[in-house]
Every structure is written in C-alpha cells, then in structure tokens.
C-alpha cells in the first residue's frame, strides 16, 4: 500500500499532466476539504476512511488504476448515471466518474463553449484541456450519453481530445423507448468487448451485478440512518460517500461504508448526533454535485441546518434502485440492467413524474421540514423542472427554496443569507 510520502509525480508526468497546473489544483483541495469537512465536530469515526481517500485523490487510486491497466485491465470514464457500471466491470474494466465540481481553465473552455454553459460541462472540459485530471488521462474510453443538449454537443468537442463513445438515451419511457434503450445496451456491450478484448460471460456479469448492488445496499444502509433525530451523520459526509462511490474500489468501498453504517446504528441507539437534534431538516434535490462541489451543503450546515437526504445523481438516484439478480442468462441479465437504468428519474426525461414523486416521498420519509431545490445556472432541465417540484412539494405542505448557482464562491454570502432566512422559516 502506498503511504503519504509516495512520490506520484513520475506517474502524473507519464499520464501527460501539466505538473505546474496540477500542483495548483492539488494545493486547493486540502484547504477546501479542511474548511468544509475537518472543521466538523461529532463526525462518525468511520469517516476517517474518506479523509484518507480524499488525501490520496490523485495518488493511491490512480496508482491502482495504473496497476490494473498494467495487468491487462481497462479504465472506462463515464459522465452520467445511465452508463451501467456492471457491464464495464464484467468486462474487466474499472469505471470512473469524470464529472468535475470545480472551475478550471474557463478562459480556454469559453473559446470552445458558450459562456452560458453549465458549470459541470465547463468543468469537465476545463479539466481535460488544462491537463489536470489523472482520471480522464487514465481512460481507455470515455462513455458519453445523449442527455441534455449541452452534454450531447460538448461530447463532440471532447471527442477531439479523448476516445469517446456516446450512448443514445431516449428522453421518454414508452415501450418503444425501452426497446431502443435495450438495443443501446447491446451496442455498449459490443463496443466494450472491442475495447477490452474480452467476451461478456454470464458468470462475470452476474458477479458484477451482485458487487455493484452490494455497493448500493451499503449506501442505502448509511442513508437510512439519516432518518433518525438527531441525525448521526452530516449531509456533507453522506454526500461525500456517494461522490467517492463513482471511482473507488467497489469491494473496499462497500466494506468501509457498511462499517460506517454499523457505527451509525450504534450512534442512533446511543442518541449521538453529528448535528444538533433541533436543527431544521432539509432535503436537497436538483443537478448533480461532483467532487469537490460541497458548496450548498456547507452553506446549509454552517447556517445551522441538517441536510438529511439528497434526491440527486450524487444521492438517492445513485443507490435507491438495484438491478434484479434473478436472471441466469446474459440476455435476462442485460434486460434487468436496462430496466434498472431506464428507471432513473433525470430531468432530461419528459414527462418526469417519478422524480416529483421521489422528492415528496423522500422528504416525508426523512422528516424534512423543507426542500432546497438546487440547479446549476444554465441547466435548463433542472431549472425548469423546479417549478413542477415546487408545486408538488407545496401541495404536500413542504416549503421550497430555489437556488440557482455555479461553482464560484462569489455568491456564498448571498446564499447564506437566503438559506438562513429559509431555515428560520421552516424551523
């Protein structure tokens, strides 16, 4: 196992990173992490694992990816929840989420993309153009998807910089769309077989489905503990666990999250909270929050609120649903994979009643006093769907605060004022 003093610079250099720029990025993350995470009191002890993972964010995990490639494996990058990691895993690939949560190289990005592009897209383009992300540089293939227009068109330009394969995701869920999606799953298998040089087997797919389901089950356990009052883990810590789920080693992650879930159950029995019992409870819903985007949770919890659930792709949308494990042949397993993934409720779909129902249900299950709807600026699907969510929430007696923001820290003061007023109102 690598230790804290391991020199990773030769590895980063070998990946073609811009070492000077990369140093700058790596010096910023510990400060952000210390301010948002290490400043918390009453954290579960098991979160020490995530402190370690973050301290090694471009180190140990990248080395593991490199070792995996050296042993004949592949690394496959993804940007979206709809790309089935079970298939990647079954073909000897390691799946890494590439969405980025920080501003980088925007000057260069804005020469390619309009200024009014969402921060998530600008960020992943910036990390690639600026050569500061060892994850994307490790990838043998990057899989995009036809979700929102911004992503779909950005992949055309991203494809000039990296090997990209785009899956066609329907935008409705009728039988004809399900058939199209099932065909896309077959086409993905064929593409990944070509890239990995392996054939998909029922045995490998069944094992991968079980392993990824186990990861999601562990996250379900961790998050179920957040129904308790006082809440035994902060929203920030729970968010971090899901963010890391996109790139960490699957069995290790599952084991560590189950250990945290055990600890949370003990904390509930002992009445130990990570945040005060009377803290106003908030559900956050909207656009995804990629590492190191902890801004909104940090604002809410520093203002005295407790985020008790995320209806986000970096939240319940990632772990709530499992792939059915009963099929025994490849076709049946791929049917189950296709069905589970098309059942995700992204705002790119129309209509999208499932998300509205999920938001209200989760807010009620987790005892939320109010909902914060978070949208990245210029993210039309979530900004527009906020109206539908707000109407349904208000009908259920749940107040809503709508926040449209980006990755800059310039509006933190203004956001804090709005969040404080909202917490006072719902508390």
Residues of this chain that interact with ligand BJ8 (CB under 6 A) are: 80-82, 118, 120-121, 147-148, 150-151, 287-288, 313, 344, 346, 348, 376, 379, 381-382
CA dihedral 129, 130, 135, 136 (to 10 degrees): 10
Output the smallest distance, CB 33 to ligand BJ8, in A: 23
Given the complex with ligand BJ8, which of 218 and 313 has the nearer CB atom?
Answer: 313
Q: Smallest distance from the beta carbon of 19 to ligand BJ8, in angstroms?
A: 29
Which residues have a Cβ under 8 Å from the Cβ of 30 and sit 6 or more positions away?
Answer: 55
The one-character DSSP state at 280 is: P
d(CA 289, CA 301) in angstroms, rounded, equals: 16
The helix or strand, by DSSP H or E, that contains position 11, with its residue range, turns out to be helix 9-14
Going across the sheet that includes 370-376, the strands are 306-311, 281-286, 370-376, 400-405
Dihedral in degrees, nearest 10, Cα atoms 331, 335, 338, 342: 170
Give the chain's largest Cα–Cα span. Answer: 58
Secondary structure of 289-356 as H, E, C letters: CCCCCCHHHHHHHHCCCEEEEEECCCCHHHHCCCCCCCCCCHHHHHHHHHHHHHCCCCCCCCCCHHHH
Question: Does residue 263 contact residue 44 with C-beta atoms inside 8 Å?
Answer: yes
Q: Using omega within 30 degrees of 0 as the cis cutoff, is the peptide bond preceding 115 cis?
A: no
Q: Provide DSSP, 84-123.
A: -HHHHHHTTEEEEE----S--SHHHHHHHS-TTS-HHHHH
Q: Least CB distance from residue 348 to ligand BJ8, whole Å?
A: 5
Of the two residues 44 and 150, which places its CB atom closer to ligand BJ8 in the complex? 150
To ligand BJ8, the closest distance from the beta carbon of 403 in angstroms equals 14
Q: Which is nearer to ligand BJ8, 88 or 148 (CB)?
A: 148
* Minimum CB distance to ligand BJ8 smaller for 119 or for 231: 119
**Closest distance to ligand BJ8 from the beta carbon of 318 (Å):** 9
Nearer of residues 98 and 303 to ligand BJ8, judged by Cβ? 98
d(CA 34, CA 32) in angstroms, rounded, equals 6
Q: Would you say 100 or 401 has its CB closer to ligand BJ8?
A: 100
Considering the complex, state which of residue 139 and residue 376 has its C-beta at the smaller distance from ligand BJ8. 376
Which CB sits closer to ligand BJ8, 253 or 382? 382
> Please, which residue, 344 or 415, has the CB nearer to ligand BJ8?
344
Please name which of 321, 341, 319, 317 lies closest in space to residue 257, comparing C-alpha atoms: 319
Minimum Å gap between C-beta 79 and ligand BJ8 is: 7
- Minimum Å distance from CB 87 to ligand BJ8? 17
DSSP H or E segment with residue 372: strand 370-376
The nearest distance, CB 309 to ligand BJ8, in angstroms, is: 16
Q: Least distance (Å) from ligand BJ8 to the CB of residue 130?
A: 19
Q: Contact at 8 Å (CB) between 58 and 131?
A: no
């Amino acid at each position: 196992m690598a230790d804290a003093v391991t020199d990773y610079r030769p590895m980063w250099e070998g990946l073609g990173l811009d070492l000077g720029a990369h140093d700058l990025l790596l010096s910023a993350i510990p400060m952000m992490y210390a301010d948002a995470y290490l400043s918390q009191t009453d954290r579960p002890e098991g979160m020490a694992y995530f402190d370690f993972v973050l301290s090694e964010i471009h180190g140990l995990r990248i080395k593991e990816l490199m070792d995996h490639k050296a042993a004949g494996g592949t690394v496959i990058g993804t940007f979206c929840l709809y790309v089935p990691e079970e298939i990647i895993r079954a073909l000897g690939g390691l799946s890494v989420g590439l969405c980025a949560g920080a501003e980088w190289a925007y000057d260069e990005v804005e020469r390619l993309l309009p200024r009014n592009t969402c921060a998530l897209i600008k960020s992943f383009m910036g990390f690639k153009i600026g050569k500061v992300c060892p994850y994307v540089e490790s990838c043998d293939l990057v899989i995009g998807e036809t979700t929102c227009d911004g992503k779909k068109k950005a992949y055309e330009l991203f494809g000039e910089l990296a090997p990209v394969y785009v899956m066609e995701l329907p935008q409705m869920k009728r039988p004809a769309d399900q058939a199209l999606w099932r065909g896309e799953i077959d086409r993905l298998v064929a593409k990944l077989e070509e890239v990995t040089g392996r054939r998909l087997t029922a045995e490998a797919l069944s094992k991968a489905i079980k392993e990824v389901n186990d990861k999601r089950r562990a996250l379900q356990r961790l998050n179920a503990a957040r129904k308790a009052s006082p809440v035994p883990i902060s929203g920030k810590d729970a968010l971090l666990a899901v963010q890391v789920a996109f790139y960490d080693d699957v069995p290790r992650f599952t084991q560590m999250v189950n250990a945290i879930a055990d600890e949370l159950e003990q904390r509930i029995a002992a009445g130990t909270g990570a945040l005060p019992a009377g803290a106003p409870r908030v559900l956050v819903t909207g656009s995804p929050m990629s590492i190191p985007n902890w801004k909104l949770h940090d604002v809410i919890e520093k203002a005295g609120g407790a985020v008790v659930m995320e209806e986000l792709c970096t939240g319940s949308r990632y772990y709530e649903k499992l792939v059915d494990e009963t099929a025994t042949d490849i076709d049946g397993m791929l049917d189950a994979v296709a069905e589970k993934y098309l059942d995700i409720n992204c705002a790119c779909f129309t209509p999208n009643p499932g998300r509205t129902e999920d938001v209200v249900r989760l807010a009620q299950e987790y005892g939320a006093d109010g909902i914060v709807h978070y949208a990245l600026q210029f993210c039309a699907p979530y900004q527009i769907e906020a109206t539908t969510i707000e109407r349904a929430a208000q009908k259920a007696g749940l107040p809503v605060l709508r926040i449209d923001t980006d990755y800059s820290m310039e509006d933190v003061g203004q956001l804090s004022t709005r969040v404080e007023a909202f917490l006072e109102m719902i508390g």
